[in-house]
Amino acid sequence: MIPWNRISAGWGRNVYILFAGFSICATGALSQFGELHSSPNSSKAISGNVEILLSSDNSILEQALFGLQSSLDYPVRVSYVDLLRSEYKDVPSYFKEIESSDTKLFVAIGSAAFKLARENLNRTPIVFTMVSHPKSIGIDSDNVCGIGMDVSISEFFKVLRELSPKANRVLTFYSQPEGEFFATEGDYFDLKYKLNFTKKKVSEENFRSSLEKIKGEYDAFIIVKDSLYNREIFEELSEFSKKNRMILMAPFPALVRAGATFGISPEYSKLGIETGELANRILSEKSSCKEEKVSLTDKPSFFLNEAYASDSNIVVPEELKERAKLTRLFTVGLNLLNEGKLKSARIVFENILKKDPNNQSVASYLQLVIEKMTGGKTKELLEAAEDFYKKGNYSRARAEFQKVLLLNPNLRAAKEGLSNATLAQSESERINAEQLVRSGKVFDGIKMYQSSLRTFPQNTKSNVELNHVRSSEYSKIPEYLKEGIELYSQRDYEGSIRIFENILLIDPSDKRAQEYLRLSTKKKDAIRVLLDKTAG
């Protein structure tokens, strides 16, 4: 028996969608985060930095909640829309309490929660997540920001082209304006991927006859977010696609597991983590909703049903199989993170990065794990490094960035920070060298140029300027040699060492300066030994 349930988080209205082998009911796992006040009308007044409202208690939204709480640095209070409706005579009174409390931020998880917040909150900033097509609810406010969950149809077309280079005709059915909205995007992206996309309006009544009419005409079918796709229709579409070797694309991983070729979807825990990080920036006053606006999650997850593809006589390239495998590993890592199994999560994320070193999404979660394992040490070091950099203390900044990289070698911010600090220090030393030369301190200037190049050997400007100074001083070497030899003859070894070292700053390969420097150093050391014996 395939379980079905309402997913208001995904499609925004009373839309029904299949989730095979996927528990939709509340999991009860909220307790792992400590005490969460799910009853809004408790004796305890509304208080705390963050109020979180979920549209329902299905497991998809709770995955986002787990992710959010794993990254959020502030105390929260959690409520559910159905509890609000049952325990408050009118919902607006709940939001009035929010506005009059010390709540700094309101987080809406799911469309229903976001819609209520938009209708009732005026002063409290609203951050939304797990919302499809947020513009339909309203984002025209400087007090509203968040992360949408929609994945562009172009992502599906891109994978379709990889999966089947000869694919041409792609079809979708819709029955409602919302479904048409999502389908229309295909009209703008199909030609980019050398595809011919068609959308058709159908109803539940004529769905079967519409399917029969397209037999053998299309290479692929994409399911868009539309209330048309109930259990019966999905099962019929799945079987039809398999029999007719038609690639079936779906927007939810559970649909892929139930019987579709592949799917592309945001990772729900990842959405929650990103939302928590967004909330942290706002609450710490490093940013605001006006600055953050609305973004979409990057690098959505790819899901593949190899058995279904095989039954459809579709050959899946190894690259796509590996991508799906990494998605599964990523999901495992996120689940371990949410469960507090940090060491195991770290191992999983590090293994993914060995295979996909440029996966910044995974790298960011590895950083989050390390933050938790080190008690925020990497964050403290990173902030210290950035502070030193802003103050122009580049050597200290480099040292702090290097400490961060000892804890997390994959942290992009630390790598970029170290690179920027290294270049900045080299440039600072070059400028100092230039000033020293201009003030007549040529040899000190050469030493500073050398320091600049030791810091960053690729500093072309330092190299050019150093060579120019050496060239201008080269003709003076015979004069310097004469002075150095005279000091050597007078047994002024410290003076001769200084002169010969200066000559070698101009021409490191000068044999006479090298030899006299060796002799001067030897004589100086011999005198020091003799004096030590005499004193003894």
Q: What is the CATH number of the domain that holds 445?
A: 1.25.40
Query: Ranked by mean pLDDT, which of 18-32, 344-358, 466-480 comes out on top?
Result: 466-480
Last residue of a domain, one of 392, 423, 454: 454
Predicted pLDDT of residue 12: 39
Domain membership of residue 66 (yes or no) is yes
Q: Are residues 253 and 315 in the same domain?
A: yes
For residue range 367-397, what is the model confidence (pLDDT) as tens digits? 888 888 887 788 889 899 999 999 999 999 9
Q: Are residues 203 and 340 in the same domain?
A: yes
Domain membership of residue 470 (yes or no) is no
Q: Are residues 158 and 232 in the same domain?
A: yes
Q: Which helix (H) or strand (E) holds 109?
A: strand 105-109
| Cβ-proximal residues to 367 (8 Å cutoff; 6+ apart), any chain | 378, 408, 410, 411, 413
The backbone torsions φ and ψ at residue 270, rounded to the nearest 5 degrees and listed phi first, read: -65, -40
Whether 47 has a pLDDT exceeding 50, the answer reads no
Whether 224 has a pLDDT exceeding 60, the answer reads yes
Quote the percentage of the chain above a pLDDT of 70: 91
Q: Are residues 123 and 244 in the same domain?
A: no
Domain membership of residue 312 (yes or no) is yes
For 13-17, 47-51, 135-139, 397-401, which range has the lowest pLDDT when averaged over its residues?
13-17
Please state, in angstroms and rounded to a whole number, the distance separating the CA atoms of residues 117 and 340. 31
Q: Are residues 227 and 344 in the same domain?
A: yes
Predicted pLDDT of residue 38: 37
Confidence of residue 409 (pLDDT cuts 50, 70, 90): confident
Structure tokens at 171: 């079809």
Domain membership of residue 293 (yes or no) is no
Q: Are residues 260 and 325 in the same domain?
A: yes
360-373 and 342-355 helices cross at what angle (nearest 10)? Answer: 150
Predicted pLDDT of residue 37: 38
Domain membership of residue 79 (yes or no) is yes
For residue range 104-121, what is the model confidence (pLDDT) as tens digits? 999 999 999 999 999 999
For residue range 285-331, what is the model confidence (pLDDT) as tens digits? 999 999 999 998 877 889 999 999 999 999 999 999 999 999 889 88
Predicted pLDDT of residue 436: 96
Confidence of residue 85 (pLDDT cuts 50, 70, 90): confident
Predicted pLDDT of residue 536: 61
Give me the mean pLDDT over the 465-493 stretch.
Answer: 94
Bridge partners (DSSP) of residue 146 are: 128, 294
Q: Are residues 143 and 167 in the same domain?
A: no
Q: What residue has token string 């931020």?
A: 105
Bridge partners (DSSP) of residue 147 are: 129, 295
Last residue of a domain, one of 341, 367, 393: 367
Please state, in angstroms and rounded to a whole number, the distance separating the CA atoms of residues 126 and 135. 14
The CATH number of residue 23's host domain is 3.40.50.2300
Confidence of residue 66 (pLDDT cuts 50, 70, 90): confident
Q: What residue has token string 């109930």?
A: 230
Last residue of a domain, one of 346, 367, 388: 367
Whether 17 has a pLDDT exceeding 60, the answer reads no
Q: Are residues 38 and 179 in the same domain?
A: no
Tell me if 250 sits within 8 A of 11, measured CB to CB.
Answer: no
Whether 276 has a pLDDT exceeding 80, the answer reads yes
Domain membership of residue 459 (yes or no) is no
Give me the mean pLDDT over the 520-533 stretch.
Answer: 87
Please state, in angstroms and rounded to a whole number, the distance separating the CA atoms of residues 463 and 484. 27
Domain membership of residue 437 (yes or no) is yes
Range of the domain at 21: 4-149+269-278
pLDDT, mean over the chain:
87
Domain membership of residue 466 (yes or no) is no
User: Which amino acid would we find at residue 316?
Assistant: V
User: Which amino acid would we find at residue 351?
Assistant: N
Give me the mean pLDDT over the 457-476 stretch.
Answer: 95
Q: Are residues 247 and 315 in the same domain?
A: yes
Q: Are residues 85 and 25 in the same domain?
A: yes
| CA 495, chain centre distance (Å) | 59
Predicted pLDDT of residue 48: 56
For residue range 239-249, what is the model confidence (pLDDT) as tens digits? 999 999 999 99
Q: Are residues 199 and 313 in the same domain?
A: yes
Whether 46 has a pLDDT exceeding 80, the answer reads no
How many domains, the chain?
A: 4
Q: Are residues 504 and 529 in the same domain?
A: yes
